């Protein structure tokens, strides 16, 4: 049985590598064709463009892995069926479950590796790619950063820290602003619950102003509205504020705890955090679902039809998962339910299909 497992595993890994490479290459070519005109208009250097797509490759590989697993499952079992090897194995008393076990085991390993890559590699690659696109290519302000705990912005004479930026309303929340003199010594500190950009500049609400002299507070006052001397544009914050891909899962968890402790709604980020955990395991789900489809198609309509059906399953999974996850981000569904619902639906479909396949 060990020889049989190794044989099936070798075939599966060859097909997986081929499919993953093909899907990654297609994704890169399509993304390159969409972005190259904009990058060229921005005067991007070819070196920066190449670095951008290099740093985007890990994200593409993670997105293509479930489809590659699905296609490799189909091609492996389809090839064994076409060569009558599947029939010979079953004639020797080997069950379909035993034949498929190496595929399911490898798919689970791929899911676990995808989870670790998403935790260790993707946040760094996303941060590097964002910096290359926004600063080196599009020449945006490099002094704006989005981090897991807060937003920092530094301008001449001011330093801003905000707990959260809401792209939909262009509102900063949980604000602390320091005004500095030429020697970078704080002269004033402003704490405000929120801030919004108006035609006359940024306006902070419910602000507490503390004047500082010789490093000590010299006076405190509370104002309901305060104009702030900031050159910060909401477009810069929109680019960074709507993404959490530069955080690890643990950083997302701490960020959600911080938002909740500050009285803000962390539902959107909770859904994204659980989604980051659930999505890698879609590879195992795709393998489990692809096995009965590949066996059905190889016996009836051939491998080509099975490939089309399997690709349709992959795209259907993506669409359903995006819709359900958006419900979780909007608070319609609990974040955990929204993140794992698609995996559960396709797992149940795979179980039903497996029960209808002759063993």
| Class level of CATH domain 144-232 | mainly beta
Buried-state track 32-62, b at ≥16 Cβ within 10 A, e below 16: eeebeeebeeeebeeebbebbbebbebbbbb
Domain boundaries, the chain: 2-130+266-355, 144-232
CA distance 280 to 42: 35
Q: Residue 225 pairs with which residues in a beta bridge?
A: 205
Question: Which two structure tokens, joined as six digits, stand for 315?
Answer: 């795209």
Q: Is 5:102 a contact under the CB 8 Å cutoff?
A: yes
CA distance 142 to 109: 39
Question: Which two structure tokens, joined as six digits, stand for 304?
Answer: 């080509």
CA distance 39 to 358: 54
> Residues with Cβ < 8 Å from 313, sequence gap 6 or more?
70, 286, 289, 290, 293, 346
Distances (CA, A) of 162 to 91, 130, 191: 67, 20, 10
Q: Is 160:143 a contact under the CB 8 Å cutoff?
A: no
Element (H, E) at 145: strand 144-146
End-to-end CA distance of the chain: 18
pLDDT tens digit at each of 359 positions of the chain? 678 888 889 999 999 999 999 999 999 999 999 888 888 888 888 888 899 999 999 989 988 999 999 989 888 888 887 777 777 877 777 777 788 889 999 999 999 999 998 888 888 888 788 888 877 887 766 555 444 346 777 777 788 888 877 766 778 888 898 888 877 788 889 999 988 888 778 889 989 988 888 767 777 888 888 888 777 776 555 444 445 667 788 888 887 887 677 566 788 888 989 999 999 999 999 999 888 877 765 554 556 665 677 778 888 998 999 999 999 988 899 999 999 999 999 999 888 887 876 55
Name the pairing type of β-strands 186-198 and 171-180. antiparallel
Strand extents, DSSP E, 169-232: 171-180, 186-198, 201-213, 216-228
Count CA atoms within 13 Å of residue 19 on its CB side: 24
Count CA atoms within 13 Å of residue 271 on its CB side: 22
Cα-trace Rg, the chain: 26
Question: Which two structure tokens, joined as six digits, stand for 226?
Answer: 């305060």
């Amino acid at each position: 049985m060990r020889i049989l497992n190794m044989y099936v595993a070798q075939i599966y890994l060859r097909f997986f590598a081929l499919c993953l490479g093909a899907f990654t290459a297609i994704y890169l070519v399509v993304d390159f064709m969409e972005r190259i005109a904009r990058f060229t208009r921005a005067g991007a250097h070819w070196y920066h463009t190449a670095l951008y797509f290099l740093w985007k490759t890990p994200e593409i590989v993670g997105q293509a892995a479930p489809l590659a697993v699905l296609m490799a499952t189909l091609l492996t079992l389809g090839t064994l069926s076409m060569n009558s090897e599947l029939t010979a194995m079953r004639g020797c008393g080997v069950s379909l479950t035993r034949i498929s076990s190496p595929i399911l085991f490898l798919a689970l390993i791929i899911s676990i590796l995808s989870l670790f890559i998403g935790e260790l590699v993707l946040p760094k690659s996303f941060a590097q790619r964002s910096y290359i696109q926004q600063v080196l290519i599009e020449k945006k302000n490099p002094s704006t950063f989005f981090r897991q705990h807060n937003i920092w912005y530094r301008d001449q004479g001011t330093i801003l820290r905000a707990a959260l930026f809401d792209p939909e309303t262009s509102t900063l929340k949980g604000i602390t602003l320091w005004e500095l003199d030429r020697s970078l010594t704080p002269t004033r500190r402003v704490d405000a619950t929120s801030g919004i950009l108006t035609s006359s500049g940024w306006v902070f609400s419910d602000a507490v102003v503390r004047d500082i002299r010789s490093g000590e507070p010299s006076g405190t006052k509370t104002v309901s509205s305060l104009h702030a001397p900031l050159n910060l544009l909401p477009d810069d914050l929109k680019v960074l504020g709507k993404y959490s891909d530069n955080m690890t899962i643990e950083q997302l968890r701490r960020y959600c705890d911080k938002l909740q402790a500050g009285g803000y709604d962390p539902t959107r980020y909770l859904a994204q955090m659980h989604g980051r955990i659930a999505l890698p395991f879609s590879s195992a789900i795709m393998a489990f679902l692809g096995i009965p489809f590949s066996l059905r198609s190889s016996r009836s309509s051939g491998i080509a039809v099975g490939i089309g059906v399997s690709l349709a399953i992959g795209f259907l999974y993506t669409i359903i998962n995006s819709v359900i996850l958006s419900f979780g981000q909007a608070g319609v569904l609990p974040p955990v339910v929204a993140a794992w619902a698609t995996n559960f639906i396709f797992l149940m479909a795979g179980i039903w299909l497996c029960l209808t396949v002759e063993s």
